[in-house]
Amino acid sequence: MWYNNVNGKCYIRSSINLYKRISNYYQNAYLKRSYLIVYTIKKYGLNSFTLIILEIIEKMKEDSNSRLLRLNREDYYLLTYLPEYNILEKGTSSLNYKHTIEAKAKIRLAALKIDKNTIIYSKKFLYNKNKNKSGNNNPMYGKK
């Protein structure tokens, strides 16, 4: 759980790879995403948050049973703490999730607040973007 020390609001999420989940919030590339928690971290600063590990479930092979257990525990904590920064109300994968019109409006408003001029692209990205991609340089050249 990310707990905002300034306003008392929180965000809850589960993961099968806790290191990867937490380290994302310290990477500039991840902090360019249009998630409510990311905007909030950028607004208040990471130092305004406390990371609380609510529970560690014994590591086991990720199968349907372990996934169900993890998501059930996430549901429990979502109902217990009622986190304001979570968009989804249940501990489920957002894969194939259809956002409500209200959620889409919130996401759009947050995305519009990003100053596109502050995005820093890697030299490799800019090189590939500007490279002539006709003939042999086209990634689909020779493929059927």
Q: What are phi and psi of 122, to 5 degrees?
A: -70, 155
pLDDT at 31: 85
pLDDT at 95: 47
- The residue with tokens 């006709």 is 134
- Enter the pTM of the model: 0.60
pLDDT 10s digit of each residue in the chain, 144 long? Answer: 999 999 999 999 988 888 888 998 888 888 888 889 999 999 999 999 999 999 988 766 667 677 788 888 999 999 999 999 988 777 765 545 677 888 888 888 887 877 767 666 777 777 777 777 777 777 777 776
Burial status of residue 39 (CB atoms within 10 A of its CB: 0-12, 13-18, 19 or more) = buried
143 located within any domain: no
133 located within any domain: yes
35 located within any domain: yes
pLDDT at 143: 78
Count of structural domains within the chain: 1
The helix (H) or strand (E) run that includes residue 3 is strand 2-4
118 located within any domain: yes
Question: Which amino acid would we find at residue 53?
Answer: I
Domain that holds residue 62: 2-137
144 located within any domain: no
Residues 6+ apart with CB under 8 A from 74: 12, 13, 14, 91
